[in-house]
Amino acid sequence: MIEPIVKVDSISKNYKKKTVLHPSSFSISKGRCVVLCGGNGAGKSTIIKLLTGIEKPTSGTVTFHTKGKKLFGYMPDQMVFPRELTPIEILMYYGNFLGCEREKMNEVIKKVGLWDERNQKVGSFSKGMSQRVNLAQCLLADVDVYILDEPTNGLDPYWVITFKQIIKELKEKGKTVILSSHIMRDIAEIADDIILLFRGKVCGEGHLEELYEKFSCTSLEEIFLSLHQQHIS
């Protein structure tokens, strides 16, 4: 049996007396794009924080089976960069920690479409442009796993399409991508596997077709409507 690249065993998270994530277990295989899918308050960002170590679980464990000292590249849902810095200065800062060559930094800036703006201060950037700088710093790391929290927030349609192509390229290189999203259309197009979350619980996981069969639905929207109806009733 192939060992998963990430194994999550009964992790939960409580804040004081409130449970925001009930005990959850799942495994992630190498070279897959796995999407944490759910609405606001479903537990997506909580799982991301537990995977990255930003938060410690109340119970359970997270284990990475990766090579190298750096376990993963991370793109938070929002990154506030110093307004006076430029994209190239920001990547040089991160690149110094990672031991990146300038060629790699230039390559990543071009990939996120900011080469012409590389020497402009990010204080003048739109939300979408800042989000692309955020993506760039994540892609600098040559790691086995990339973890992205709501990565398409603020991106215009062209860059949503380009982002999907970047994910495809990472998978072709054997990389594993874990991301969170509530945008159903995007999820259906890029996910190899889905972890379905509702009110802090994992309600289902697997291929899209497996979830359709489990819930007797033909779309993710239908599944979430069904979950809401079950909760109300």
Domain count for the chain: 2
Residue 153 and residue 207 in one domain:
yes
What is the full per-residue pLDDT of the chain (233 aa) written as tens digits? 567 999 999 999 999 889 999 999 999 999 999 999 988 889 999 999 999 999 999 999 999 999 877 889 999 998 999 999 999 999 999 999 999 999 999 999 999 999 999 999 999 999 999 999 999 999 999 999 999 999 999 999 999 999 999 999 999 999 999 999 988 778 888 999 999 999 999 999 999 899 999 999 988 889 888 887 776 55
Q: Are β-strands 6-15 and 59-64 bridged in parallel, bridged antiparallel, or unpaired?
A: antiparallel
Identify whether 1 is part of a domain: no
Residue 161 and residue 222 in one domain:
yes
Identify whether 3 is part of a domain: no
Read out DSSP for 191-212?
-SEEEEEETTEEEEEE-HHHHH
User: Which tens digit of pLDDT belongs to each residue from 48-77?
Assistant: 999 999 999 999 999 999 987 788 999 999
Note down the domain range covering 177: 14-71+144-233
Last residue of a domain, one of 142, 157, 185: 142
pTM: 0.93
Identify whether 2 is part of a domain: no
Here the CATH number for the domain that contains residue 210 is: 3.40.50.300
3-state class (DSSP) for residue 145: strand
Last residue of a domain, one of 142, 159, 179: 142
